């Protein structure tokens, strides 16, 4: 008999085509290896040696021949295949050549029936030969590789085979042992003994197995039950419509998140909603990719390409022109266009906050013309930066009717428990499984014409457990089998559907469905799965063997017809694209591929992607790196790693490094850490490319709080670069580790020495980025010494080098350093304002620099009493940070409003502002000592109580003298208010003494004023006046008109 490789049915030897499915028949073994999850059955005759001693060889041959024939008949009747005979042992496989969803159940049924058949055989052997046979049986389920063997044979290899053989050896005579994986698939149909732990040869640890006692006749391996009563999707659809109406009526942005398990119907619900609103709204879509960690803005890029009209085949210049045209006429059009270019990968230097702001403005521009519905699908795969972006749009989009629709699996709430919580404009819809009645309605909608008998409808609904995906896939199998045929007025049954068994699990169902495809169609699905859920026809052509490429369109048409894939759009290339109807189908197809073939296909797809992207490679570079990374990882798992594999690893690292550097430039530190970390893991430890990225990797690891990993990166970078005499990497590692305080304890002199020695290297190499870092380190040394002027001078030099290097990220960091220098240092207020305005004029579209300079200008204008200018600037600082999704920075910026209101004399407003920031930071798990002490100062100014013990705790933890001095001010005033005047004066005096040794004029003046207040409270008027005069002189030197006025009032009051 010939078994059909497509449907698994046996045919007479003379047949050339399968009599069941029409596929061509061949006696040849499988043409290519395939990975499958199968169930292995091993059985062996126990004590066969004694039997051989008792019987003549001819008699023994007859006994064993009858035994083998009897056992084989049972195995094949249950759909198994006898793989081989090993002495007296039989190895059978359930799932080769064709998978069945209930292969594990077939195997345990066969085992128990084999035992009964042996009893019948023993009755005859006992009467005729006076002997009986006894067997031990082991059954195990797991992944194997099926490949060609001898003529008409297949070879099945894998750990699952070895475990089954060892379980057979461990079974008691007459017993059957089954593994845990097998029991998981048949647990509702069997009775087993207690779990047993077995030490199996070749296994590193004990293996759990169960003694099979009984298999219930007719039972399913896994019973399907509805977990909860359900209704249809009417309520959820109403929720979507209401959210849309709210957005239109109030001209606001509404966020609706649809939470549901895979396959529960999220996409179907959203598609139905789109049909309702399509005539009233513009609908745009983006999707999160499960495999692009580093592809932070992929969904946003898809959306921008749609709204800007960027075609798949557009060049980079054409894409940029379309973005410019889209932004034309908008306020700040240039900045918006720049941010959108960053989103789609045309400008790698755009910062994260610019991207967030530009994305929101783009959506607002579309919504101004017509209500806008934006779907970002599968946000459970989204990186935190994208979630922050969406949350920012939801919070800040104003006066425009916009609805954000975000379908997600429940895993989203594991990563972002507070998603959408506490927002008046946010709604979460929990999409639960359908109830039985709704599931039956879905079946009737998918197979109209009443083609399904009532019993079959109910069985499908029960097996689906209310999951529409399960229903759809079961019906898809009926279509694949030709039992349901589409007619003009619906579906028609062509066979007896009542005899079909409902699949026990979705995974088994999908695997069985794929196994039943024609081999060429199955191969196409498997190759497409390497690309992902969405794939281009041209990419599948590239992945196919040359002889098969012309036939790819026909195979895709067949897969569409069988409802495994559907047409889709792609942003990667021109031509047709397709989408697996469900991700689980893609996963099942991918799981079939041997790792060696996966590696080959991933590498070939990366090659295709590089060519297809053309001059837009930056958009897909993380994907190229991912596929090359996968190619290497699979070759590494198979081993040994040869030169070809190492070359693939290097290519992957190069692409991931390039993507990581772009992520760093836009301030996406988490993506940078991910991409550079993966790059480092791909390369040999001493590879110069790997060593060169370690300092940058350490820098971002430090920024995201992975301090030990950051320290390890710098330690390794220093050791390896020194050993390799890589002076550039060594210099960068030395400077950065000192800047971040990740090296040995260092004095200001140590930092200057490191900066000077490293600068000599960078000068020789012409490295402006390195020189900028050196000047920052010199500035840090000056700041530690209390020399703000020195820090400011160094920052100015650093800024020049950063601009020459084109390093916008470093520019923004330096501008932040300079902001603090201009406020606290000796630069007069008026001069500070002039310098801030000059820096802004040089970088008009840089929102990072705008934030830093607005920070300084708010402080400086407030010191001139120009509160009408200072308040908007303070608000702008926070606005920029919020729009960029920088929650920590936004909370920190409340310090600016606090300072402005304290100088304005509105201490209530100051306390409200600083308390808001304090609470936001605490909610993020980042309590701020600065906010605590500033809040205490505002409360003391209002005559309110403060927590003195908390202030003392802060002081005990602070090592920075300036920080300790500012805390001492608050402690001094608190002690004075409590009547502890001696201690208060000592604290105030210590603050003055610390700050007198610095050129932090503003802090010093404030400390002198505080000292005067404490002395005045103690009745020490002469000393108080001396302190006030010292404060006045400092305020006059700084040009702080408000400070001058306060000091003069104090002097007058103490006279």
Peptide linkage before 97 cis (omega within 30 of 0):
yes
Scan for tokens 């916008």, then name that residue. 808
Tally the C-alpha atoms within 13 A of residue 834's C-alpha that lie toward its C-beta.
Answer: 5
Give how far Cα 1010 sits from Cα of 341, 391, 977, 1043, Å: 51, 43, 12, 12
Residues 6+ apart with CB under 8 A from 639: none
Alpha helices per DSSP H over 187-265: 234-250
DSSP 3-state of 377: strand
pLDDT score recorded for residue 876: 94
State the distance between the two ends of the chain, measured CA to CA, in whole angstroms.
117
Residues 6+ apart with CB under 8 A from 762: 728, 731, 768, 770, 771, 774
- The three-point CA angle 1037-1040-1046 to 5° equals 110
What stretch of H or E contains 803?
Answer: helix 788-805
DSSP output for 620-633:
HHHHHHHHHHHHHH
DSSP 3-state of 157: strand
- Answer positive or negative: Cα dihedral of 462, 463, 467, 468: negative
CA distance 943 to 1045: 21
Q: What fold does the segment set 945-1055 form as a domain?
A: 1.25.40
Residues 6+ apart with CB under 8 A from 276: 237, 241
Alpha helices per DSSP H over 453-593: 454-464, 468-480, 506-515, 519-531, 537-543, 552-561, 583-591
CA distance 991 to 1009: 11
Structure tokens at 396: 């800040």
What is the Cα 99 distance to its own chain's centre? 33
How many residues does this entry show for the chain? 1055
List, in sequence order, every residue forming a beta bridge with 86; answer none if it has no partner. 89
Q: Is residue 330 a contact partner of residue 366, using CB atoms and an 8 Å limit?
A: no
DSSP 102: T
CA distance 632 to 647: 9
Q: Is residue 938 a contact partner of residue 910, using CB atoms and an 8 Å limit?
A: yes
pLDDT score recorded for residue 741: 83
CA distance 130 to 642: 61
Structure tokens at 883: 């729009």
CA distance 863 to 874: 13
CA distance 624 to 911: 51
CA distance 215 to 187: 10
CA distance 878 to 25: 72
Structure tokens at 294: 């580093």
Structure tokens at 715: 């330690």
Give how far Cα 820 sits from Cα of 791, 1043, 1044, Å: 10, 18, 21
- The three-point CA angle 230-234-240 to 5° equals 120
DSSP output for 313-376:
T--HHHHHHHHHHHHTTSTTHHHHHHHHHHHTTS-TT--HHHHHHHHHHHHHHHHHHS-EEEEE
Pairing of strands 190-192, 196-198: unpaired
Structure tokens at 908: 């209530």
What is the Cα 413 distance to its own chain's centre? 13
Say what the pTM is.
Answer: 0.71
CA proximity to 161, closest of 92, 215, 96: 92
CA distance 550 to 894: 64
pLDDT score recorded for residue 535: 93
Burial of 417 (0-12, 13-18, 19+ CB in 10 A): exposed
Q: Which residues of the chain are modeled with pLDDT < 50?
A: 1, 6-7, 20-21, 26-30, 224-231, 291-293, 501-504
Q: Is residue 356 a contact partner of residue 394, using CB atoms and an 8 Å limit?
A: no
CA distance 348 to 659: 9
Residues 6+ apart with CB under 8 A from 733: 694, 695, 698, 714, 717, 718, 721
Q: Is residue 265 a contact partner of residue 445, using CB atoms and an 8 Å limit?
A: no
Dihedral pair phi/psi, residue 9, rounded to 5°:
-80, 150
| 413 C-beta neighbours (distance < 10 Å), count | 17
CA distance 79 to 491: 30
| 841 C-beta neighbours (distance < 10 Å), count | 9
pLDDT digits (tens, 9 = 90+) for 195-229: 898 888 777 788 899 999 999 986 777 654 333 33
| 784 C-beta neighbours (distance < 10 Å), count | 16
543, 545, 549, 550 alpha-carbon torsion, rounded to 10°: 180
Q: What fold does the segment set 234-430 form as a domain?
A: Rossmann fold (3.40.50)
Residues 6+ apart with CB under 8 A from 384: 415, 416, 670
Q: Which CATH architecture has domain 33-215?
A: 2-Layer Sandwich (3.30)
Provide the residue ranges of all domains of the chain, joining segments of one domain with +: 1-31, 33-215, 234-430, 436-504, 945-1055
Scan for tokens 């169609």, then name that residue. 521
CA distance 645 to 51: 54
pLDDT score recorded for residue 974: 92
Number of helices (H), then strands (E), belonging to the chain: the values are 45, 21
Give how far Cα 656 sits from Cα of 150, 621, 651, 665, Å: 44, 7, 9, 14
Dihedral pair phi/psi, residue 126, rounded to 5°:
-65, -45
Burial of 87 (0-12, 13-18, 19+ CB in 10 A): exposed
**Longest distance between any two alpha carbons in the chain, whole Å:** 130
CA distance 788 to 583: 58
Scan for tokens 């409003």, then name that residue. 897
Q: Is residue 196 a contact partner of residue 208, using CB atoms and an 8 Å limit?
A: yes
Give how far Cα 221 sits from Cα of 110, 111, 466, 927, 1039, Å: 14, 15, 19, 54, 84
What stretch of H or E contains 283?
Answer: strand 282-287
């Amino acid at each position: 008999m010939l078994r059909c490789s497509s449907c698994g049915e046996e045919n007479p030897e003379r047949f050339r085509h399968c009599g069941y499915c029409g596929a061509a028949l061949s006696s040849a073994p499988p043409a290519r290896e395939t990975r499958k999850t199968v169930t292995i059955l091993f059985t062996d005759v126990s004590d066969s040696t004694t039997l051989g001693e008792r019987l003549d060889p001819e008699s023994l041959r007859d006994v064993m021949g009858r035994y083998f024939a009897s056992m084989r008949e049972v195995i094949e009747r249950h759909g198994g295949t006898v793989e081989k005979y090993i002495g007296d042992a039989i190895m059978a496989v359930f799932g080769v050549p064709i998978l069945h969803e209930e292969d594990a159940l077939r195997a345990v049924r066969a085992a128990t029936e084999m035992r009964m058949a042996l009893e019948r055989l023993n009755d005859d052997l006992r009467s005729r030969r006076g002997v009986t046979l006894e067997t031990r049986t082991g059954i195990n389920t797991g992944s194997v590789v099926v490949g060609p063997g001898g003529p008409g044979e297949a070879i099945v290899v894998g750990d699952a085979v070895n475990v089954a053989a060892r379980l057979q050896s461990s079974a008691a005579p007459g017993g059957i042992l089954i593994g845990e994986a097998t029991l998981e698939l048949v647990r509702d149909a069997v009775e087993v003994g207690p779990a047993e732990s077995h030490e199996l040869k070749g296994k590193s640890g004990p293996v759990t197995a169960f003694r099979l006692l009984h298999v219930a006749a007719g039972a399913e391996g896994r019973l399907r039950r509805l977990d909860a009563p359900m209704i249809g999707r009417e309520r959820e659809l109403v929720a979507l419509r209401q959210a849309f109406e709210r957005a239109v009526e109030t001209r606001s942005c509404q966020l609706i998140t649809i939470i549901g398990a895979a396959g529960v119907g999220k996409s179907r619900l959203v598609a139905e909603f789109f049909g309702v609103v399509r005539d009233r709204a513009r609908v745009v879509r983006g999707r999160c990719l499960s495999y692009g960690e580093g592809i932070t803005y992929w969904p946003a890029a898809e959306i921008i390409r749609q709204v800007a009209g960027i075609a798949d085949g557009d060049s980079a210049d054409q894409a940029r022109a379309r973005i410019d045209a889209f932004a034309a006429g908008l306020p700040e059009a240039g900045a918006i266009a720049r941010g959108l270019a960053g989103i789609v990968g045309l400008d790698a230097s755009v910062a994260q906050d610019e991207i967030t702001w530009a994305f929101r403005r783009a959506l607002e521009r579309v919504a101004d013309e017509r209500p806008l519905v934006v779907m970002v699908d599968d946000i459970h795969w989204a990186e935190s930066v994208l979630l922050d972006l969406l949350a920012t749009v939801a919070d800040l989009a104003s006066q425009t009717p916009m609805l954000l629709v975000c379908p997600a699996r429940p895993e989203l709430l594991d990563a972002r428990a507070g998603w959408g919580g506490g927002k008046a404009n946010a709604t979460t819809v929990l999409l639960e499984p359908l109830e039985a009645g709704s599931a039956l309605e879905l079946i009737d909608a998918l197979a109209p014409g009443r083609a399904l008998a009532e019993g079959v409808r109910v069985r499908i609904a029960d097996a689906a457990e209310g999951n529409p995906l399960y229903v759809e896939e079961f019906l898809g199998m009926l279509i694949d089998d030709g039992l349901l045929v589409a007619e003009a007025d619906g579906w028609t049954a062509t066979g007896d559907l009542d005899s079909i068994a409902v699949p026990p699990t979705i995974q088994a169902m999908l695997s069985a469905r794929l196994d039943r495809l024609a081999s060429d169609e199955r191969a196409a699905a498997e190759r497409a799965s390497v690309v992902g859920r969405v794939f281009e026809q041209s990419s599948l052509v590239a992945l196919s063997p040359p002889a098969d490429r012309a036939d790819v369109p026909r195979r895709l048409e067949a897969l569409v017809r069988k409802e495994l894939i559907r047409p889709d759009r792609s942003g990667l290339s021109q031509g047709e694209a397709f989408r697996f109807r469900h991700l689980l189908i893609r996963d099942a197809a991918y799981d079939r591929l041997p790792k060696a073939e996966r590696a080959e296909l991933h590498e070939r797809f990366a090659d295709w992607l590089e060519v297809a992207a053309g001059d837009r490679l930056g958009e897909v570079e993380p994907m190229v790196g991912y596929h090359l990374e996968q190619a290497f990882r699979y070759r590494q798992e198979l081993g040994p790693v040869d030169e070809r594999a190492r070359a693939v690893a290097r290519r992957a690292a190069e692409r991931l490094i390039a993507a990581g550097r772009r992520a760093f430039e836009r301030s996406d530190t988490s993506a940078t850490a991910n991409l550079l970390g993966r790059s480092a893991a791909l390369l040999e430890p001493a590879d110069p490319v790997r060593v060169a990225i370690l300092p940058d990797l350490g820098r971002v690891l430090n920024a995201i709080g992975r301090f030990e990993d950051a320290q390890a990166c710098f330690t390794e970078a220093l050791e390896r670069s020194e050993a390799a005499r890589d002076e550039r990497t060594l210099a960068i590692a030395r400077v950065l580790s000192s800047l971040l305080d990740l090296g040995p304890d260092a004095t200001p002199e140590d930092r200057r020495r490191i900066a000077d020695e490293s600068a000599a290297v960078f000068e020789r190499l012409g490295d402006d980025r390195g020189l900028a870092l050196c000047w920052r380190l010199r500035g840090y040394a000056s700041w530690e010494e209390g020399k703000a002027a020195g820090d400011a001078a160094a920052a100015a030099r650093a800024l020049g080098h950063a601009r020459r290097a084109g390093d916008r990220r470093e520019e923004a960091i330096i501008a932040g350093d300079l902001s603090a220098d201009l406020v606290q240092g000796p630069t007069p207020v008026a001069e500070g304002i002039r310098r801030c305005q000059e820096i802004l004029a040089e970088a008009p579209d840089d929102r990072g620099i705008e934030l830093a300079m607005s920070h300084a200008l708010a402080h400086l204008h407030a010191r001139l009493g120009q509160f009408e200018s200072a308040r908007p600037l303070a608000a702008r600082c926070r606005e920029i940070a919020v729009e960029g999704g920088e929650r920590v920075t936004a909370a920190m910026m409340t310090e600016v409003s606090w300072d402005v209101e304290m100088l304005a004399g509105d201490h209530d407003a100051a306390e409200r502002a600083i308390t808001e920031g304090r609470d936001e930071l605490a909610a993020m798990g980042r309590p701020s000592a600065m906010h605590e002490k500033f809040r205490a100062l505002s409360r003391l100014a209002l005559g309110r109580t403060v927590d003195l013990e908390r202030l003392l705790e802060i002081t005990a933890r602070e090592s920075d003298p300036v920080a300790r001095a500012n805390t001492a001010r608050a402690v001094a005033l608190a002690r004075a208010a409590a009547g502890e005047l001696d201690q208060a004066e000592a604290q105030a005096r210590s603050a003055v003494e610390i700050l007198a040794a610095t050129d932090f004029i503003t802090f010093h003046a404030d400390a002198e004023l505080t000292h005067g207040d404490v002395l005045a409270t103690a009745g020490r008027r002469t000393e108080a006046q001396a302190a006030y005069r010292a404060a006045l002189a400092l305020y006059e030197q700084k040009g702080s008109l408000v400070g001058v006025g306060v000091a003069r009032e104090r002097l007058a009051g103490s006279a």
